[in-house]
Structure 1
């Protein structure tokens, strides 16, 4: 049974979330603040975290940073009010996997939890499985990326995105295609999440090969992996 941690200081919302998750077969833990959440993550095997950004004491973005430092492989879905667009974008930039805006439906929450769990439970390929293009090497078994023998530190989502770009390097990929194949979502999701992740990926690749234009923007359509020199 998958275990979901709900971090929200409003008892009514916390109860609503935990009840609906339990009704769909999840085990749940609840934390009213960031300190309690960090303690629960350290002492329990958590599969997914629902994190409200408006928390007493330690703010939600700080909690997110700490959570990702402790358990970077655990997917985090941030919960924000529609007026918190800046915080939502910062949360995605810090490494959150998804977001939900208030007011939300319990059905939407369950769908998004299931989606991030599917994305993080892909079976690992056994055996030698390496992609190499020019100075870029991707070891799919070890989730290792190197440029000119320098290891690049990517988040799990950035790694998935890069692999998909490389495997489809002859195609221009729309944001919707990236959402469907990398995020594996079956609901409407803000395409800015794609833009943010692509921007982060570009920055990390550019650090070790600044002369290379790794991912091209195709105006009006999306992106394409490329090996053009600037």
Structure 2
């Protein structure tokens, strides 16, 4: 697996380069956002790790610019920012995951493997899913509600919606959603799920009546009766 890391701290880059070598990953490194974008355009990477604070072009702007090319390569953000509003910004720009500094290389490695595994398993979803009000196509990542396209979803918001469409009326804990949609065991970052549910409720018409909070457990998806 080829991983591009855009990180301006040489110590962090050296640590990851050593760790990647031990794990059998091919790591490529850039020290600023502009160099990172150039390498992204020239290379063929399976996953990107972007630091939030970068010279030249910050990580969020880089993430947005990459998504504007149409690329769906998995992106993990590295950042010292851990507030919900910061996570929202990252996810809205198209990030798939979010690792807060300081971090353990083992934790980052687990996230990399999980995101990569999830990306490889994406084809396991039904390419065409139809419910009472929704039509979703995994291959084209298109979703319609009552015939109207919902085209402002981030990649992970689409994955979460697709999972719920496949499992209507089933109650899932945050830990289960992290494992099934993000592909990793629960690490205590349950706000990731909450942020995505909140965004889906806002972006999908009548979304607040589709995604139900089951107090003390988690969430379920149930369509409105005709």
TM range (shorter): 0.7 to 0.9
The residue aligned with 2:89 is 90
Work out which of the residue numbers 206, 219, 222 in structure 2 matches 1:223: 219
SS in 2 for 1:178: helix
- Distance in 2, Cα, partners of 1:75 & 1:212: 28
The residue aligned with 1:148 is 146
> Structure 2-normalised TM-score?
0.88
The residue aligned with 1:113 is 112
- Distance in 2, Cα, partners of 1:5 & 1:185: 21
Matched, 1:170 2:169: yes
The residue aligned with 2:198 is 199
Structure 2: stretches of 5+ with no match in the other structure: none
- Distance in 2, Cα, partners of 1:211 & 1:204: 7
Structure 1: stretches of 5+ with no match in the other structure: none
Q: What is the RMSD of the two structures over their aligned residues, measured on CA atoms?
A: 2.3
Aligned residues: 223
The residue aligned with 1:100 is 99
Summarize the Cα distance change of 1:155–1:211 in structure 2 as closer, same or farther, 3 Å threshold. closer
Work out which of the residue numbers 129, 132, 144 in structure 1 matches 2:130: 132
SS in 2 for 1:15: helix
Summarize the Cα distance change of 1:147–1:193 in structure 2 as closer, same or farther, 3 Å threshold. same
Shift of 1:193: 0.7
Q: Residue 46 of structure 2 contacts residue 73 of structure 2 at CA under 8 Å; is this kept in 1?
A: yes
